[in-house]
């Protein structure tokens, strides 16, 4: 059985997709079937190192050719650049990608789409903190410095992709939770935070440590570093991820966030970081939205302002017995295949 992990931009989509696919492969193995997990190699060594650190139970193949084909559809530069790239490349590249997939692997049995802008279109499950067409629709009236017609055209691309989706898995506390009147998609299932509950880190670090997370998209890195310098001057021990530029701060993997001596996390308001803070009960200090970044971040901050991370987590704990969203989604998919 072929499981295609189809991630969008940044680190968290391929991390989340890999974890769900790995869990699915374990469940499918109980039926006596073997799985082959494939994903595009979008970020080279960094992606390979992070995937290796997940300690998955099943082998995951990162396809370099698939990554090169899909890379133009991944956000690079400003969000307007991303919309322009989708406008010019989406139709042609999606055909090229699917032709390659069929020639190399045949039809995928399951696709786990984690925010990607293209799809293989078969047994497709969307797992993300928002539905793409909804983000585009809500962005049109907001002044992001982008012509509304660009969002309107991209909405057609999003709606075409979403016609093939079997189920949308969206956390109950999500990008648009600030809108208490939001109506879920008819095919939407609410989930816990889309991260497993991690074990506590036991490495020795100073008590007043703060983790400054650098986005996998490259957005807001300068701002996060500037905030790290302020915190260092204020007497905090600042830790950054291994892919952060420079050497002025201690570098450690994000797993150290679970350490009791990490008092809070600073970073761009992306859900990979926020889910980890939810699962570890850490204070999260978001960097303000900067024009040109993904509109998702603007709406994420609106949600944080309306419903704090702590309050959102408390609501989910009342809703779900198991707060492991990865296991929750894998179990839901197993009931559908």
Residue range(s) defining the domain that contains residue 159: 2-196+322-334
Question: Where do runs of H (alpha helix) occur along 242-308?
Answer: 271-280, 295-306
Together in a domain, 298 and 181 = no
Mean pLDDT of all residues in the chain?
94
What are residue 124's DSSP bridge partners? Answer: 111, 165
**What span, in angstroms and rounded, lies between the C-alpha atoms of 265 and 106?**
43
Is 232 inside any structural domain? yes
Predicted confidence (pLDDT) at residue 157 exceeds the cutoff of 70: yes
The answer to whether residue 203 sits within a structural domain is no
Whether residue 186 lies inside any domain: the answer is yes
CATH number at residue 31: 3.40.50
Mean pLDDT of 12-30: 96
Q: How far is CA 231 from the centre of its chain?
A: 27
Question: Do 106 and 223 fall within a single domain?
Answer: no
* 21 and 155 both lie in a single domain: yes
Percentage of the residues of the chain whose pLDDT score is greater than 70: 99
Give me the pLDDT at residue 130, please. Answer: 98
Between CA 249 and CA 233 the distance in angstroms is: 12
Question: In which band, very low, low, confident or very high, does the pLDDT at 3 lie, cut at 50, 70 and 90?
Answer: very high
Same domain, 187 and 216: no
Whether residue 115 lies inside any domain: the answer is yes
Shared domain for 140 and 122, answered yes or no, is: yes
Q: In this predicted model, what pLDDT tens digit does every residue of 290-321 receive, in sequence order?
A: 889 999 999 999 999 999 999 999 999 999 99
pLDDT of 151 strictly over 90: yes
Categorise residue 218: left if φ over 0, alpha if ψ from -120 to 50, beta otherwise: left
Say what the pLDDT of residue 77 is: 86
Residue 280 within any structural domain of the chain: yes
Domain assignment present for residue 269? The answer is yes
Residues 163 and 279 reside in one and the same domain: no
- Please give the structure tokens belonging to residue 191: 């989930």
Do 179 and 71 sit in the same domain of this protein? yes
- 202 part of a folded domain: no
φ, ψ of residue 186 to 5 degrees: the values are -55, -25
The H or E element that residue 158 is part of is helix 148-162
In this prediction, what percent of the chain has a pLDDT beyond 90?
88
Stretch 132-150: mean pLDDT: 95
Same domain, 37 and 108: yes
Mean pLDDT score, 76-86: 92
CA 123 vs CA 9, 33, 109, 119, 162: distances in Å: 22, 17, 6, 10, 12
Residue 37 reports pLDDT greater than 90: yes
Q: Cβ(241)–Cβ(221) under 8 Å?
A: no
Same domain, 271 and 152: no
| pLDDT attached to residue 218 | 66
- How many domains is the chain partitioned into structurally? 2
Q: Give me the pLDDT at residue 108, please.
A: 87
Q: Would you say residue 220 has pLDDT above 90?
A: no
Residue 204 lies in a domain: no
- C-alpha span between 86 and 80 (Å, rounded): 10
Shared-domain flag, residues 185 and 236: no
223 in the same domain as 307: yes
Q: 46-51: long-range contacts at Cβ-Cβ below 8 A with a sequence spacing of 24 or more? A: 46/11, 46/216, 46/243, 47/11, 47/14, 49/242, 50/11, 50/14, 50/15, 51/14, 51/15, 51/18
Asked if residue 237 and residue 124 are part of one domain, the reply reads no
């Amino acid at each position: 059985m072929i499981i295609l992990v189809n991630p969008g931009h940044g680190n968290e989509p391929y991390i989340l997709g890999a974890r769900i696919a790995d869990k699915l492969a374990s469940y499918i193995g109980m039926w006596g079937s073997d799985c082959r997990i494939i994903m595009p190699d979008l970020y080279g060594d960094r992606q390979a190192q992070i995937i290796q650190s997940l300690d998955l139970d099943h082998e995951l193949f990162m396809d370099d050719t698939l990554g090169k084909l899909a890379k133009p559809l991944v956000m690079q530069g400003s969000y307007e650049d991303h919309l322009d790239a989708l406008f010019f490349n989406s139709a042609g590249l999606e055909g090229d990608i699917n032709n390659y997939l069929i020639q190399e692997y045949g039809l995928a049995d399951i696709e786990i789409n984690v925010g990607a802008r293209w799809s293989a279109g078969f047994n497709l499950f969307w797992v993300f903190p928002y539905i793409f067409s909804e983000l585009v629709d809500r962005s049109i009236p907001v002044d992001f410095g982008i012509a509304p017609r660009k969002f309107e055209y991209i909405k057609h691309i999003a709606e075409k992709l979403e016609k093939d989706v079997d189920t949308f898995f969206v956390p109950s506390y999500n990008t648009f939770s600030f809108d208490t009147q939001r109506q879920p998609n008819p095919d939407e299932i609410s989930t816990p935070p889309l991260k497993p509950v991690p074990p506590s880190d036991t490495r020795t670090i100073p008590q007043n440590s703060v983790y400054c997370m650098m986005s996998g998209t490259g957005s807001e890195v300068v701002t996060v570093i500037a905030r790290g310098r302020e915190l260092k001057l204020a007497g905090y021990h600042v830790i950054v991820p291994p892919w952060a530029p420079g050497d002025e701060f201690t570098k450690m993997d994000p797993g150290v966030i679970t350490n009791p001596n990490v008092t809070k996390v600073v970073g761009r308001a992306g859900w990979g970081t926020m889910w980890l803070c939810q699962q570890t009960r850490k204070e999260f200090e978001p960097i303000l939205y900067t024009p040109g970044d993904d509109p998702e971040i603007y709406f994420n901050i609106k949600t944080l302002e309306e419903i704090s991370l702590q309050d959102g987590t408390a609501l989910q704990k009342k809703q779900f017995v198991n707060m492991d969203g990865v296991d929750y989604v894998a179990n839901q998919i197993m009931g559908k295949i």
